[in-house]
A and B are shown apart, each in its own frame.
Chain A
Amino acid sequence: MNKETGTMDVRKVSGVVSVVDIRGDVTAGSEGVLSDAYGRASTPTTRAIVLNFSGLEYMNSGGIGMLVTLLVRANRQRQRLLAYGLNQHYRQIFELTRLDEAIGIHDSEEAAVAAADGR
């Protein structure tokens, strides 16, 4: 029922941290794209996945639900999920849905990667 939405690129910034650059719309239709991105971002040595929301243009409740399933996958692999690039509006949505209690939100990629590295 869901049209595919959004694009996601993966960058490995260190042996243990990968960044997923999210662009466009995040809806339930992004499930395949996000799952594929997670597959590329997650290696046996990956300890944290950082989601870059700077290019996010639209997100509905289906998109939020998908982030929870991504969180479950990451936790199963003992990986942390972090985020940066959220504007005020999307930060409030993370707070409202209480996603921010499980996905650490940071102001910049540097801060998120530092947190992921435990610096």
Chain B
Amino acid sequence: MTSGAEDGAGGEATELTPRDAANWAKHVTTLRLGEVPDEAINLNVTGKRLVGPIQGFGKLWQKTYRVELTGVETTPAAAIATWKQAFGSFWPDSGRFYGPLTSIAPGDVALLNISVGGGVKLSTGILVLYADEESFTFMTPQGHIFASWITFSAAAAEEGGVTVAQVQVLLRANDPLYELAMPLAIHRREDRFWQQTLTNLARHLGVADPAVSTVAVCVDRRRQWSNAGNVWHNAGIRSTLYALGTPLRAGRRLLAGDERSGRKG
């Protein structure tokens, strides 16, 4: 389920190792996904390049979701350790995270299946770009709804010292179709998704009545028309076509099975 790069580039060991060296994923050009469970739809990950806010199409947004872990004896490092350990279990039911079984480490690649309505599951993925004791960051591939970096972190609040868990997303919609859907549905779904995730995490850690705050800032209103061609990789379209082709594939499998049993008989 995890795996890494098709072409890691190793540097010469002529410099002192920086303090953060172990926290970053090794350089990759395209993603490669390992084994995934049979029930998962594995599309739009292997062979895709990573895209960050610079490669996206739409307006640049910074969205910050926070929850105070009030009344809980924990530290930022302990909260992040718990989050990494069972990351997918805190997701709402609409999303499945097929990631590493043990924890989250730099260079891991995970498959995501997200229900988008009409029985269609959008299949995409993430790379764990960075991870340390108090934070970890995902970067998205071509075709994902967002060209983004998503950072999960915990820190002690300046006042009172209570631990605060946070999700911060720096994103552009990846292509014009996603950008069109941002005000119609995607912003709302995205907000609900991370609010629910933080609520689930806080409840798991023992917070009785978690309250999640949301702050969205439009950092750049300009759209990057030079990246409009990203639509070719649109995982929503590709996942929908895959779903439409399901009866056809089932029919083919059935026919192939009949032929095999006919030959045996």
Q: Does A87 contact B (CB under 8 A)?
A: yes
Tally of B interface residues using CB under 8 Å? 42
Residues of B within 8 A of A95 (CB): 27
A45-76 vs B: 1/0 string, CB under 8 Å?
00000000000011111101100110110011
Give, as a whole number of angstroms, the nearest-CB distance from A88 to chain B. 4
Q: Does A119 contact B (CB under 8 A)?
A: no
Which of chain B's residues 235-264 have a Cβ closer than 8 Å to chain A?
Answer: none
- Find the A residue at minimum CB distance from B13: A88
Measured in the bound complex, the distance between the Cα atoms of B170 and A95 in whole Å is 18
Contact B19 A57 (CB under 8 A): yes
Contact A98 B219 (CB under 8 A): no
Residues of B within 8 A of A65 (CB): 62, 149, 151, 168, 170
- Find the B residue at minimum CB distance from A94: B27
Measured in the bound complex, the distance between the Cα atoms of B170 and A30 in whole Å is 17
Measured in the bound complex, the distance between the Cα atoms of B220 and A11 in whole Å is 27
Contact A57 B164 (CB under 8 A): no
Select one of A2, A58, A61 contacting B149, CB under 8 A: A61
Q: Does B80 contact A (CB under 8 A)?
A: no
Measured in the bound complex, the distance between the Cα atoms of B166 and A50 in whole Å is 32
Residues of B within 8 A of A1 (CB): 153, 155, 157-158, 164, 166
B8-27 vs A: 1/0 string, CB under 8 Å?
01011011011111011111
A61-B137, A69-B62 known, 12 other contacts, Cβ within 8 Å: A1-B166, A58-B20, A59-B20, A60-B130, A61-B135, A64-B149, A65-B151, A87-B18, A88-B14, A89-B17, A93-B24, A98-B51
Question: Can you list 14 A-B pairs, Cβ within 8 angstroms, ordered by A?
Answer: A57-B19, A58-B18, A62-B135, A65-B170, A68-B53, A68-B54, A69-B62, A69-B219, A88-B11, A88-B14, A96-B50, A96-B129, A97-B149, A98-B54
